[in-house]
């Protein structure tokens, strides 16, 4: 699996939460590290990478507060380097996961083929999933100056209301497991969208399998931004 990089073209729409319609093109590592100096405010691109281009019905967190905006200038370059390093560590530790760098953040996608598994109609973290999340928690512990957004999704099999609750339970199962490993709960926001945000074709078994997913976004927090800005001034 290769480390995916994105260049984002953005059209911004503000609704109850910040939503962007994005188009993405892979770019190389060097370009990614320079993006912070040229992109401008584009925080919702990470949200778009997680839930697609439509507003979902679920969730309880104010995603915009977690997503924030892209940090520009030299400070953005410094943050980009730190996030690149963290993304590479995640990819090395969990080779089955899809790791994407979007703006100043990282999006990690786990579906039924990539390290975090849920049995049908279940939301408990099984032994294999624990091993994956333990590795992820270790990386998060190395980078304490980040916020973490966990988002749950399902396929469209079953009742919509049931799937909404299932995606909520699975997202919270991941969040609760990670915080049980010693990570601060204040770093986490948990959200869920049930079947309302498919990114693959639900008419196929493969598509449904990929839609039964949990996304994790990692973003620089206020302290990381302040430290980068201070480093630039010095």
Angle ∠(30,12,200) on CA atoms, nearest 5: 75
Instruction: Give the count of alpha carbons within 13 A of 79, CB side only.
Output: 32
Do 97 and 90 touch, CB atoms closer than 8 A? yes
Residue numbers of the domain that contains 30: 4-233
Q: Calculate mean pLDDT across residues 183-198.
A: 92
- Token digits of residue 187: 């770093």
pLDDT of 67 strictly over 70:
no
Residue 177, CA distances (Å) to 4, 82, 136, 150, 188 in order: 27, 25, 11, 12, 12
Compute the distance between CA of residue 134 and CA of residue 177 in angstroms, rounded to an integer: 9
pLDDT tens for each residue of 8-48 = 332 222 222 222 222 232 223 323 333 222 222 345 677 77
pLDDT of 5 strictly over 70:
no
* DSSP track, 148-160: EEEEE---SSS-H
Dihedral of alpha carbons 197, 187, 102, 126, sign? negative
Average pLDDT, the chain: 75
pLDDT tens for each residue of 132-159 = 999 999 999 999 999 999 999 999 999 9
pLDDT of 3 strictly over 70:
no
Give the CATH number of the domain where residue 27 resides. Answer: 3.30.1330.60
CA dihedral 19, 118, 109, 216 (to 10 degrees): 60
pLDDT of residue 175: 96
- Token digits of residue 77: 């370059």
Q: Higher-confidence residue: 234 or 182?
A: 182
pLDDT tens for each residue of 75-114 = 888 888 999 999 999 999 998 888 988 888 899 988 777 7
pLDDT of residue 128: 86
pLDDT of 234 strictly over 70:
yes
Number of domain units in the chain: 1
């Amino acid at each position: 699996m290769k480390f995916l990089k994105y260049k984002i073209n953005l059209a911004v729409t503000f609704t109850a939460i910040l939503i962007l319609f994005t188009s993405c093109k892979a770019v190389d590592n060097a370009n990614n590290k320079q993006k912070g100096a040229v992109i401008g405010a584009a925080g919702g691109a990470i949200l778009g990478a997680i839930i697609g281009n439509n507003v979902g019905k679920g969730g309880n967190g104010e995603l915009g507060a977690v997503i924030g905006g892209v940090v520009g200038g030299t400070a953005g370059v410094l943050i980009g380097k730190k996030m690149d390093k963290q993304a590479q560590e995640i990819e090395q530790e969990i080779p089955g996961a899809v790791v994407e760098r979007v703006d100043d953040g990282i999006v990690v996608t786990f579906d039924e083929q990539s390290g975090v598994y849920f049995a049908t109609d279940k939301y408990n973290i099984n032994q294999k999933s624990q091993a994956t999340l333990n590795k992820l928690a270790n990386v998060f512990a190395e980078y304490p100056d980040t916020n973490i957004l966990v988002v749950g999704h399902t396929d469209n099999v079953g009742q919509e209301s049931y799937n909404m609750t299932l995606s909520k339970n699975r997202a919270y199962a991941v969040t609760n497991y990670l915080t049980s490993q010693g990570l601060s709960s204040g770093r986490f926001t948990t959200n869920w969208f049930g079947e309302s945000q498919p990114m693959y074709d639900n008419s196929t078994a493969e598509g449904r399998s990929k839609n039964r997913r949990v996304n994790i976004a990692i973003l620089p927090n206020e302290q990381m931004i302040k430290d980068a800005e201070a480093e630039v001034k010095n």
